[in-house]
C-alpha cells in the first residue's frame, strides 16, 4: 500500500489499513489471533443479522372474526360470493376467505370467514341467522364461532408463519429479507471482506483504549472499490461530541475537502486521499463528482451508534451500517431504529453481529 496516499499515516499504524491476509502472521496480530478462536478469517464465528423496522420485526396484530363451518361443500362458491358481497374484507385482502377444517376427522371439510367481529358489534345473541344479511340463506352453514385473523399483511416469513397459525394468509415474500433473517445474506468471500473492515475498526478501538479513550472504532468503506475511506475512534477527550462515528464522518468530509475536526493528536484517525479510491489510480478524480459525504458508502463500527451518530449517518447519506455489539442507548435497533424512521428522508440498511465477540471484548 502506498502510504503517501494516506493522511495522518502514523508509524506502526499501517497494519490497520492493510488486509489481514498479509498480516496474519505479523507480531502485532499474533496475540489477538491466539486469544480469538481460529484465525482472523474465522468468519464462522459470527453472523450478520439485519436490523429490521418495527413493522417487519414485531409480532403480528390479530383481530377477532366470526367463522362458520361449511356443512355442504357444494355450497362453497355461492357462500363465498354472497359473503364477499355482504361483508367485503376491506383492507384485509391478505386473508383467505375459506380454510380447511382443522379438527381431524371433523364432520365438515371447510370453514368460511363470515365477517369481522367489528362488523357485528350490534348483534346481541350470535347465531348464523343473526350474522347473515337479510335475504342471504344460511343453508349449508353451521353455527358461528370466533377466530383470530391477522390484521395486517405479513412482511416477513416469521410473521407469515405466525399469521398462518391463526388463519390462512397470503404473503408476498421478499426473498432477500428471508435469506437475511436466516443470517445467510452474505457469501463467505463477502464475509471475509467484511471481517477485514471490522478488524480495522477493532484496531482503531484498541488504539483509543490505549490512549484512555472509550474503546469504539469505526471505518467508512467504499464497497464498489472495496477500499477504506476513513478510520476513526472515539475522541471524547478532544470534544464531548467526538464519538467514533462523528469522527469518521468528519474524516470522510475531510477527504472531500471539507470537515472541521482537528484530530492531529490521534494518529489512528485517518482518511484516504480520494485519488486512491478509484479502480484505476492513474485516473484524474474530479472532486465535484464525489458523492455527498457518505452516499454509497458503508460504515463498520464496533458498537451500535447512539442517536446523535445515527442522525449524522442519516444526514451524511450512508449506504449501510454494520456494527459488532449492541449498546443500551443504541439508536439502530436497541432503543430506537433511526434507520427505518418513516418521517426521515433517508433510510439505510443495518446489520448487527459482525465480529460480535471481538467487539464485545473491547469493553471487558
Ligand atoms: Zn454517538
From 171, 178, 174, 180, select the one nearest 152 (Cα to Cα): 171
> 10-residue block means of pLDDT along the chain (364 residues)?
41 37 36 42 90 96 95 90 92 94 80 91 79 81 94 97 96 97 96 96 97 97 94 95 97 93 94 66 50 90 98 97 98 98 96 97 93
Residue 214 and residue 66 in one domain = no
Question: What is the number of domains present in the chain?
Answer: 2
Q: Please indicate, yes or no, whether residues 153 and 226 belong to a single structural domain of this protein.
A: no
Please give the distance, rounded to the nearest whole angstrom, from the Cα atom of residue 206 to the centre of ligand 1: 17
Same structural domain, 253 and 234: yes
Residues 6+ apart with CB under 8 A from 294: 220, 249, 252, 313, 316, 317, 318, 319
- 309 CA from centroid of ligand 1 (Å): 4
Q: Which domain holds residue 324?
A: 186-273+291-362
Residue 14, domain member (yes or no)? no
User: Residue 42's pLDDT is what?
Assistant: 81
- 29: in domain: no
User: Residue 346's pLDDT is what?
Assistant: 96
Distance 241 CA to ligand 1 centre (A): 7
Q: What is the dihedral of CA 83, 85, 91, 95, to 10 degrees?
A: 30
Where does a domain end: 149, 179, 209? 179
Residue 48 CA to ligand 1 centre (angstroms):
21
Residue 143 and residue 99 in one domain: yes
Q: Which of these three, 179, 210, 229, is where a domain ends?
A: 179
CA of 73 to the centre of ligand 1 (A): 62
Q: Is residue 123 part of a domain?
A: yes
Shared domain for 165 and 86, answered yes or no, is yes
DSSP annotation of 340: G
Q: Where are the alpha helices (DSSP H) in 98-225?
A: 128-131, 157-164, 175-181, 188-210
Q: Give the model's pLDDT for residue 180.
A: 97
Q: What are the phi and psi torsion angles at 164 (to 5°)?
A: -70, -20
Which of 179, 195, 221 is at the close of a domain?
A: 179
Going by C-beta distance under 8 Å and a sequence separation of 6 or more, which residues neighbour residue 335?
307, 328, 329
Q: Does residue 258 form part of some domain?
A: yes
Residue partners of 152: CB distance under 8 A and separation at least 6: 60, 61, 94
Let me know whether 131 and 206 are in one domain. no
Which pLDDT belongs to residue 279? Answer: 53
Ligand 1 centroid, distance to 277 Cα (angstroms): 27
Ligand 1 centre distance from Cα of residue 30 (Å): 31
Same domain, 236 and 215: yes
Residue 102 domain-assigned?
yes
Protein residues with C-beta less than 5 angstroms from the ion ligand 1: 243, 306, 309
In a domain, 47, yes or no: no
Q: Are 209 and 221 in contact (CB under 8 A)?
A: no
Give the model's pLDDT for residue 18: 39
**Cα of 233 from ligand 1 centre, angstroms:** 11
Judgement on whether residues 320 and 215 belong to the same structural domain of the protein: yes
pTM to 2 decimals?
A: 0.82
What pLDDT was estimated at residue 291?
62
At 233-267, the pLDDT tens digits run 999 998 999 999 999 999 999 999 999 999 999 99
Cα 235 to ligand 1 centre (Å): 11
C-alpha dihedral (163, 168, 173, 177), degrees to nearest 10: 20
Domain with 234 in it: what CATH number?
3.40.140.10
**CA–CA distance from 347 to each of 84, 332, 364 (Å)?**
39, 11, 32
Same domain, yes or no: 217 and 97:
no
Residue 224, all three cell numbers:
464498489
51 lies in some domain: no
Instruction: Give the Cα separation of 237 and 243 in Å (integer).
Output: 10
Q: Are residues 191 and 307 in the same domain?
A: yes
Place of cell 461530541: 241
Question: Is 160 inside a domain boundary?
Answer: yes
Q: Which residues pair with 151 in a beta bridge?
A: none
How many A from CA of 343 to the centre of ligand 1? Answer: 21
- Same-domain check for residues 338 and 266: yes
Considering the domain architecture, whether residues 197 and 169 belong to the same structural domain is answered as no
45: left (phi over 0), alpha (psi -120 to 50) or beta: alpha
Amino acid at each position: 500500500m502506498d502510504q503517501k496516499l494516506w493522511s495522518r499515516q502514523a508509524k506502526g499504524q499501517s497494519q490497520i489499513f492493510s488486509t489481514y491476509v498479509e498480516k496474519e502472521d505479523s507480531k502485532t496480530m499474533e496475540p489477538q489471533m491466539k486469544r480469538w478462536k481460529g484465525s482472523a478469517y474465522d468468519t464462522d464465528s459470527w453472523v450478520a443479522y439485519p436490523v429490521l423496522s418495527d413493522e417487519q420485526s414485531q409480532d403480528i396484530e390479530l383481530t377477532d372474526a366470526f367463522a362458520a363451518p361449511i356443512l355442504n361443500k357444494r355450497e362453497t362458491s355461492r357462500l363465498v360470493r354472497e359473503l364477499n358481497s355482504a361483508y367485503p374484507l376491506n383492507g384485509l385482502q391478505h386473508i383467505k376467505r375459506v380454510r380447511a377444517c382443522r379438527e381431524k376427522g371433523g364432520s365438515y371439510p371447510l370453514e368460511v370467514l363470515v365477517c369481522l367481529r367489528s362488523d357485528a358489534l350490534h348483534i346481541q345473541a350470535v347465531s348464523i341467522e343473526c350474522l347473515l344479511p337479510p335475504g342471504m340463506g344460511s343453508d349449508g352453514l353451521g353455527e358461528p364461532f370466533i377466530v383470530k385473523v391477522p390484521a395486517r399483511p405479513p412482511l416477513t416469513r416469521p410473521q407469515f408463519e405466525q399469521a398462518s397459525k391463526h388463519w390462512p394468509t397470503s404473503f408476498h415474500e421478499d426473498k432477500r429479507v428471508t435469506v437475511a433473517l436466516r443470517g445467510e445474506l452474505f457469501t463467505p468471500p463477502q464475509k471475509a471482506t467484511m471481517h477485514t473492515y471490522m478488524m480495522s475498526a477493532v484496531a482503531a478501538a484498541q488504539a483509543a483504549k490505549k490512549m484512555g479513550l472509550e474503546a469504539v472504532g469505526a471505518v467508512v468503506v467504499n464497497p464498489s472499490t472495496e477500499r477504506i475511506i476513513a478510520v476513526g475512534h472515539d475522541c471524547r477527550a478532544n470534544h464531548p461530541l467526538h464519538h467514533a462515528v462523528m469522527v469518521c464522518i468528519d474524516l470522510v468530509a475531510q477527504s472531500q475537502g471539507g470537515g472541521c475536526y482537528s484530530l492531529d493528536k490521534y494518529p489512528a484517525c485517518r482518511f484516504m486521499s480520494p485519488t486512491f479510491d478509484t479502480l484505476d489510480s492513474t485516473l484524474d478524480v474530479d472532486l465535484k463528482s464525489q458523492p455527498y459525504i457518505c452516499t454509497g458508502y458503508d460504515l463498520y463500527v464496533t458498537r451500535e451508534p447512539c442517536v446523535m451518530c445515527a442522525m449524522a449517518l442519516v444526514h451524511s447519506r450512508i449506504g449501510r451500517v454494520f456494527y459488532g455489539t449492541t449498546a443500551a442507548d443504541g439508536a439502530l435497533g436497541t432503543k430506537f431504529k433511526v434507520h427505518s424512521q418513516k418521517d426521515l428522508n433517508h433510510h439505510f440498511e443495518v446489520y448487527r453481529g459482525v465480529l460480535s465477540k471481538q467487539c464485545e471484548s473491547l469493553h471487558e
